[in-house]
Structure 1
């Protein structure tokens, strides 16, 4: 059985948890606090970031992008019509473009700020950067999330799913990031109806159940967080 080292509110970890669930895999989950930089974890991934997948044979695959590519290479063909990275080259390019958008751009402009300032800092010691949240960073993220949500709305107005006619890594990455922001109540869903409807479809999938069950100790989620009908 595979093992996934993850952090519950790391959006990259959540993306891979969704991917594994969609593929019918149930890995052993090992929770990490990346800021603690455990020696044993750094031996697996010197970058000290989550997620890290360890196959039953011992192969270590670090990083969301590398794990997604590895899983497609080793399990993708067996998924037949449910493959999460399409076979056609142009379609694969579009999925990878959107993966880069959400795993990099969205993370740098929205999720990274909000998760660090509102969640992780609560559990970090002062010498590791813990303390009161930086409200300027939070305000910037709340501003940025609006245009990202508009982009999701734009895409889903023209396609059945974000990258085309089928569910792909693009949908799972976007939903993973938005789920972190949604827990904190910082997604203005009332501004973009089609994006909201797409996300309702995403969080109604069986693969989303474990994410919706996650809780930050001492911090309740937004009231609608686990409500499949908003």
Structure 2
């Protein structure tokens, strides 16, 4: 049994949930509001960020990149053709490059900004950075979403999946970040048919179903969020 300390709309947490779902691993979710800096959570991850994976008999596994590598080390080989990290060095480089693109660059420039301004700040105390959302930050983040979506579309036009011929961590990373902001209605799907078609394929996978059931009181999901044929 794996325990994941997460927030439902944390893009990094969503990525880990998708990976665990693809591998068919039992998962217990513990919601963590990282901005509260709960002492017991800081023991698990002194950086104070989600996600953190807890597995009996091993130290806490903190951070999206460390968790991805850990799961590949302990589960990857036995998954055979379902392994989410390729076996060849060249293919692994491309998957890791795209994981970094989405989990670092896309996160910093778009998904984390939108989730923080439109979701997290609703629950944060003023001293923790809560308050009204910044329209300037939201505007800049939504502009950045457009060029990330165009890059996804460019990749999707040239490959079966983002990193190559089959589903990998790269696809789940991109889809996780898009899913969080699609809930908010901040993905301009009309601008890129290739990106939209790729996302529809990934979104239709069984591993995605738990994410599509997430909801937030007072913030209704966009029309496209749960629609598999959007």
2:13 aligns to what? Answer: 13
1:47 aligns to what? Answer: 47
1:185 aligns to what? Answer: 185
Number of aligned positions between the proteins = 230
TM-aligned CA deviation for residue 58 of structure 1: 4.2
TM-aligned CA deviation for residue 56 of structure 1: 2.0
Alignment of 1:19-168 (within 5 A): 19-168=19-168
Q: Contact 1:95/1:168 (CA < 8 Å) preserved in 2?
A: yes
TM-aligned CA deviation for residue 2 of structure 1: 1.5
TM-score, length of structure 2 as denominator length: 0.99
1:215 aligns to what? Answer: 215
Q: Distance in 1 between matches of 2:191 and 2:214?
A: 26
TM-score, length of structure 1 as denominator length: 0.99
Q: Distance in 2 between matches of 1:26 and 1:51?
A: 16
TM-aligned CA deviation for residue 59 of structure 1: 2.5
Alignment of 1:167-206 (within 5 A): 167-206=167-206
Q: Distance in 2 between matches of 1:7 and 1:26?
A: 18
Q: Distance in 2 between matches of 1:217 and 1:226?
A: 16
Secondary structure of the structure 2 residue equivalent to 1:86:
coil
Q: Distance in 2 between matches of 1:211 and 1:3?
A: 16
Q: Distance in 1 between matches of 2:224 and 2:104?
A: 27
| RMSD of aligned residue pairs (Cα, Å) | 0.6
Q: Distance in 2 between matches of 1:133 and 1:6?
A: 22
Q: Distance in 2 between matches of 1:28 and 1:225?
A: 24
Q: Distance in 2 between matches of 1:131 and 1:15?
A: 27
TM-aligned CA deviation for residue 217 of structure 1: 1.6
Q: Contact 1:9/1:180 (CA < 8 Å) preserved in 2?
A: yes
Q: Distance in 1 between matches of 2:58 and 2:40?
A: 15
Question: Where does the alignment leave 5 or more consecutive residues of structure 1 unmatched?
Answer: none
Q: Distance in 1 between matches of 2:60 and 2:46?
A: 12
Q: Distance in 2 between matches of 1:145 and 1:26?
A: 33
Q: Contact 1:3/1:56 (CA < 8 Å) preserved in 2?
A: no
Q: Contact 1:6/1:52 (CA < 8 Å) preserved in 2?
A: yes
Q: Distance in 2 between matches of 1:134 and 1:27?
A: 35
Secondary structure of the structure 2 residue equivalent to 1:119:
helix
Deviating above 3 A after TM superposition, structure 1's stretches of 4 or more consecutive aligned residues are none
